[in-house]
Chains A and B, each alone.
Chain A
Amino acid sequence: MRPQSLIPKRWILIVIFLTGMISSAAWGQIATDSLRAELTGDAVRLTWGAGTGPYGIYRAADPSGLDSADNYVGVTGETFFLDALDLEPGDPVLYFLVADPPRCNQHFICSNGNPCDGVETCFDRRCIAGEPVNCNDGDSCTEDSCSLSTGACSSTALDCEDGDPCTLDYCTQGLGCESSVDPAAGVGVAAELAGNPLGAYPHFEFVRSFNEDAPVSLAVDPGRTPDLVGETCDVYVVEARSAAGWCSDRTLSDARGAPDTRTFVAGQVQDNTFPLVPPLALDSSAGHGIGHGYDVVLDCDQDGQLDGAELVDGLEDRSGLYLVHDLTQPGPLATVQFDSIGPEPDHCDSFINPGNDDMRIYHPAELQNPGFGGRFPLVVISHGNGHCFDWYDFLGNHLASYGYIVMSHDNNTGPGIETASVTTLTFTDRILLEQDSLGGGVLLGHIDSSRIAWLGHSRGGEGIVRAYDRIVDDGYVPQAYTADDIVVLSSIAPTDFLERAGADPHDANFHLLYGAADGDVCGCPNSLYPFALLERATGNRHSTYLHGADHNDFNCCGFNDFEGPAGTAIGRAEAQQVQKAIQLATVERYAEGSLAAEDFFWRQWESFRPIGVDPSTVVVSEYRKEPAQRSFVLEDYQTEPSTTVSSSGGGVNFSVLGLTEAQLNDTNGSFSWTGTEPMNGMTRGEVSDDTRGAVFDYAAGGDSFYELEVVPVEQDFSDDRFLSFRFVQGTRHPLTAAELGDLNLTVSLVDGVGGASAIRIDTYGGGVEEPYQRGNYGSGAGWQNEFETVRIRITDFLANGSDLDLSNIRFVRFDFGSSYGSAQGRLGLDDVELTEE
C-alpha cells in the first residue's frame, strides 16, 4: 500500500525566501498555508503541516518535468543543507514541488504500519507497495485472517451459523457456507421434483441444470411419496430462495404467471410426470454468471403459501433447478482488450529468448468506469510451442464477457516445459504486481488474486501443471499468489514430457480438453499421454474428449493437423464452440462456485450439452469428485491386485472373461489387438504412474456379470447421492469391432433381503462410447481408449416402489449381454464409488 496521499496528481509551486517565510502560488486546490519552511543557519527544513505524508520535494526552475528523479531533493520533514542544494543564504527564491506519488530515500519512510499489506520499500526514490500477505489456506471452510500487529496468518473454522433457528447451516468445500431449512422448522419438506422423463426404468431423472431451450418436467413417485396419492396440488415454479428466504417468506408467486394444478395418482412415476416449464418460457439470465435458479413447490392445500408438510425442490440455498442459456454465446458484459508489448522485436516466437515480455489482456469494459469497484477472477492462458499469445481472442473475449480478467502471455516453450512453467509463474505475478500500470491502471483493484485459473495449450498445457507442481513440490514462491489461489488447471491437449515427477497437478482441480484427431500430441501408444495428467490429479477432475478435433482447433491459427477418418473432422469453429462452453463452465464452477456448471462435466453428452454445440458432435466426459466428496470407494484397483477381492476389501464375483487388473498403460507401441496385452489402448499412465484398473470381455450368445461385494460397515447407502463409475471400450478388440457402437450394460444394487433394482445406463442418453475410429499404429481402426463416467442418483434405484433397502446394500452388480444391453464387448472398468452431491 502506498503511503496515504492528500494531493494525488497535483503539484504546487512554492516560492521560498530563505528567511523562514513562505510565499506561494498554488495550482489545483491545494491549500498551501500548511506548508512550512524552517531556516536554521545553513539548513532548511520543509514540513507539511497537516502531519501526513511524507511527500516528495523537487526543485527546478519551472514546473515542467519536475516529477523526475533528477530533480528530487527529498521528502517533507527532512532537513536540507543549503550546500547540498547548491544554494546560498540570500538566494531570494527557489522552486520546489510537492508531488504525488510520494518520493523517498529510505524504506521506513514508505511504511504504512500495516504488515498485512506487505512491506513497502523505497526503490529508485519511489515507494513500492509490498505484496499483501496471502492467508488463503485453500480451505473454503476456514476463515483466514492476518494479524495487523504481527502479520501472521491464522485460520479458524468458518462459523456458518446464521442465527436463524429455522435453518441448518453448514460448510461445503468449494462453496463455503450453505444453509437448508431445518426439517423440524415446519417450513416445507425437501424433495426432488424437477427433471426429465426417461424412456425406461427409472423413468425419470431428477437433475439440476436444464438448457433454456429444453422442457422441464415434474415428477412425483407415488412409491416414495404415497401421501400425495389422491392429492390435487398447485405446482409453483418460483424464483429461487435461500433457506433463510424460505423461512422468512413462504408466499408463493409463480414465475410463469400462474401455477399448474396437478392431481397425483396411484401407480408409477410415469403416471405422475407432467410438463413443468416449456422451452424458452422463463428467464435464464444470471447476471454475468450461468444458471438462473428456480425452486419448485407443491402447494397441496392450494393456499398460495408454503406450509409445513408441502414438498419443495430447492429448500436450501441451492436452487431446485437452473435454467442455463447458450454457453457458446458471449456473456452480458462488453469487453475490451489491450496488449502490453515488451522491447523484444518479435512478439510471438523470437530468436533468442522467446516468451519474455508480451501479453494480451481481455477484461470487462466496465472496469473503465470511474468508481467501478468490482473484482473479477483472473484467467491466465499459456500457449503452446510455435504458437502465439494473440491466438486466443475467441476465448479471452468470451470469458471476459462473463466477468473474468483474462491474460494470454508469451510462453517460452521452445527450450521445454521448465521454461514454459517459469513464464506462466512470472506472467501471473506480473499482471498482479503491475496492475497499477498495465493498460493505464485500468485493472488496479479489480483482480481477485485468490481466484486464478490457469489454462494452457499443448506444451503450455503441461507448463501450467509444472508451474503448479513447482510451487507445491519445489519450493517456488510466487510474489503475489500461492498455490491455494489457483482454483483450477485446464490443460488443452497437453504434453507429458516430465511425467509424474514433474507434471503432477496434485490436489488442484483439473480439467483436460482434448481432441481425438490430434495429429501432434496424438495419444499414440508409447507417446506422451495427455490423459496421464488427468489420472494424476487428486482434486476434482474432469475431461472433455472431442471426436474429430485436432490439436490446433483450439487456437485460431495453428496448422491443421487433423488425423482421423474421412468425414469426421468437426473443424475449428465447432471445436471452439465446445471449448468456449466447457472452459467457461470449468472456471465458473471453480472460480464462482457455480453448481449449474457442474452438470456439463458428467451428464451424458447425448442428452445434455451446451445449446450451441452441434448435436452430431461426439464428446466423451469423465468426472471424478475429490476424495473429500467420495463417501465410499468400492473399487479403484489401486491397493488390491487380486481379481477376487476389491480395494475396499469385499469379494468380487464374476463370469466375464479375461478379467485382468493392471496399470492403465499400453506399453507395446501399437493399438493392434494381439491378445497378449490386456491393457491395449490404455494411454492413461506412463511407466512412472500408478493408475490401475480392470479389463474384461464377454462374447455374444450369453450373459455375464461382474459383482462387487460391499463390506458390512459400508452397506448403508441411504445418505449417499450418486453411484459413480467409469467404463471404457477396449480399442480394436474383435468384440469392440463387432459391436461398434455405444456399449450398454445394466447396473444393479442388491440388498441383503433379496431386493434388487437395476438400471440400464443408456436410459440416461448414451452408453459407453466406441473408440474414435482412427487408424495407424497397427492394424485395424480405433484410437486410444475413452473412459466415460456414469453417475446414477442412488434414489433412482428406488423408483416405482422397488422395495430396495438402501440401508442394507450387499452388492453392486454389472450385467452384460443381450439381456442387459449390448450383446458383446471388451471393457475397462475403474473407480466404482459413492459420492456426495
Chain B
Amino acid sequence: MILRAALCGLVVVLVTALGAVAAPPALPETPLAPFELLYARPFTLAEPMEYLWSKERPMVTSGWLLVLEVDPAVAYPRQTALPVLYAGDQVAHYAMKGYPSGRIVAVVPARIDLQSAPIWFGTPTLPEQVDQAIIQAEEVLAREAGIGPFPSGVVEAALAAGGPELVLNSSLDLEALGRELHVRYLEPAALK
C-alpha cells in the first residue's frame, strides 16, 4: 500500500513536470447535446436589445434564460472556434464561465417552444458568422445524430425552477439576473 501510494505520488510529480495536466481539454465532437436542462425562465424586454450572437443581429424583446449542464470541455475558454450553442432556430449566447463546473447560463433570443425544440452544440465557428441557413443545416446534423428536445418532464422541472415570466426593462436587468444565476448555479459553493 505504501509502495502504491509512493508510486502514485511519483506519477503525479511526473505528469506535472511534463506539463500534461496543463493541456486544455480536447473539444468534443459535435453535434453534442447538453447533459441537462436545469433552469428555464421566459423573459420580456421593454427596451429591445441588439443581439450580436448571430449574423442577422436581431432586435430582441423576448426569449429564454437557461441554465444547462454540459460537457465542461465545451465551456473551456478558447480563442479558436467554439461549438455554437443552438436552441431551435436560434443561436444562444453563453458566457465563458462554465469551466470546470460544466454549467452555463445561456440566453435564447426568442421564445422558442422548449417542448419541441432541440438544444445542442453544433460545428465550431464564430456566432457572428451564423445565419439561418447554417442553423437549419446544423439542426439537420443534430437530428441525424439523434439529438431531440429535452423530455417533457425535464422541461417542466426546469420551468418550475425558473418560475414565471420576467418582465424587464432592458438587457441590463437581464444581465443582472444572469449574474445571479451564475452565482447560484456555477460557483463551486453552489455545486456542493
Contacts and interface: CB of A to CB of B under 8 A. Distances in A.
A351 B182 contact: yes
Contacts of A385: 77-79, 96
B126 A417 contact: yes
Interface in A117-175: none
A352 B52 CA distance: 9
Contacts of B127: 414-416
A517 B18 CA distance: 12
Contacts of A709: none
Interface stretch (A281-289, A340-348, A606-614, A676-684): A340-348
Contacts of B80: 495, 520-522, 527-528
Interface stretch (B31-39, B144-152, B156-164, B167-175): B167-175
A702 interface: no
B178 A351 contact: yes
Contacts of A352: 49, 93, 107, 171, 174-175, 178
A385 B179 CA distance: 18
Contact of A562 (B22, B50, B79, B129): B22
B77 A559 contact: yes
B79 A520 contact: yes
Contacts of B17: 566-567
Contacts of A562: 19, 22-23
B19 A569 contact: yes
Interface string A546-565: 00001100000011111110
Contacts of A550: 22
A511 interface: no
B177 to A, nearest CB: 8
Contacts of A519: 22-24
A387 B95 CA distance: 11
Contacts of A817: none
B87 to A, nearest CB: 15
A718 to B, nearest CB: 48
A19 to B, nearest CB: 51
Contact of B53 (A387, A415, A567): A415
A543 interface: no
Interface string B70-85: 0000001111110000
Nearest to A419: B52
Of the candidates A349, A350, A385, A520, the one having the most CB atoms from chain B within 10 angstroms of its own CB is: A350
A418 interface: yes
B105 interface: yes
A458 interface: yes
Q: From DSSP, what is the main secondary structure of chain A's interface residues?
A: loop
Interface string A499-534: 000000000000000000101111000011000000
B113 interface: no
Interface residues of B, number: 35
B19 A564 contact: yes
Given A414-B127, A563-B23, A497 B81 contact: yes
A493 interface: yes
A257 to B, nearest CB: 52
Contacts of A414: 53, 93, 95-96, 127
Interface in B80-127: 80-81, 93, 95-97, 99, 105, 107, 126-127
B23 A561 contact: yes
A533 to B, nearest CB: 13
B91 to A, nearest CB: 9
A412 interface: yes
Contacts of A350: 95, 175, 178-179
Contacts of B126: 415-417, 497
A459 interface: yes
A386 B126 CA distance: 14
B176 interface: yes
A825 interface: no
Nearest to A417: B126
A558 B77 contact: yes
A354 B172 CA distance: 11
Contacts of B176: 345
A561 B24 contact: yes
Name the residue in A354, A386, A459 with the highest tally of chain B Cβ atoms < 10 Å from its Cβ: A386
B47 interface: no
Contacts of B81: 497
A384 interface: yes
Nearest to A551: B79
B79 A495 contact: yes
A472 B159 CA distance: 49
A521 B128 contact: no
Contacts of B93: 351-352, 414
A519 B49 CA distance: 35
A352 B173 CA distance: 10
B77 A351 contact: no
Q: Which of A349, A351, A414, A417 has the most CB of B within 10 A?
A: A351
Nearest to A563: B23
Contact of A520 (B53, B78, B182): B78
A642 interface: no
A418 B172 CA distance: 22
A345 B174 CA distance: 10
Contacts of B179: 345-346, 350-351
A418 B128 contact: yes
A354 B179 CA distance: 12
A415 B52 contact: yes
B97 A559 contact: no
Contact of B22 (A386, A493, A561, A567): A561
A527 to B, nearest CB: 7
Interface in A404-443: 412, 414-419
A384 B176 CA distance: 23
Interface in A336-370: 343-346, 349-354
Contacts of B174: 351-352
Given A418-B128, A495-B79, A354 B95 contact: yes
Interface in A758-781: none
A387 B107 CA distance: 20
Nearest to B181: A351
B90 to A, nearest CB: 14
A520 B24 contact: yes
Nearest to A560: B22
Nearest to A387: B77
Q: Which of A417, A517, A561 has the most CB of B within 10 A?
A: A561
Given A350-B178, A414-B96, A343 B172 contact: yes
A385 B78 CA distance: 6
Interface in B122-143: 126-129
B181 to A, nearest CB: 8
B128 A346 contact: no
A147 B79 CA distance: 47
A521 B77 CA distance: 12
Nearest to A412: B52
B97 A349 contact: yes
A522 B52 CA distance: 27
Contact of A349 (B50, B95, B128): B95
Contacts of B22: 519, 550, 559-563, 569
Contacts of A521: 79-80
Interface in A462-518: 493, 495, 497, 517
A387 B78 CA distance: 9
Nearest to B17: A566
A168 B174 CA distance: 67
Contacts of B79: 384-385, 458-459, 493, 495, 520-521, 551
For the complex of A and B, the 8 pairs showing the least CB-CB separation, nearest first, are A386-B77, A351-B178, A386-B96, A416-B126, A416-B128, A458-B79, A415-B128, A560-B22
Given A386-B78, A522-B80, 8 more contacts: A343-B172, A350-B95, A351-B178, A352-B174, A385-B77, A386-B96, A563-B23, A569-B22
24 contacts: A344-B172, A346-B178, A349-B97, A350-B175, A350-B178, A351-B93, A351-B175, A352-B171, A353-B171, A386-B96, A414-B93, A415-B126, A416-B126, A416-B127, A495-B80, A497-B126, A521-B79, A527-B80, A550-B22, A559-B22, A559-B76, A561-B22, A566-B19, A569-B19
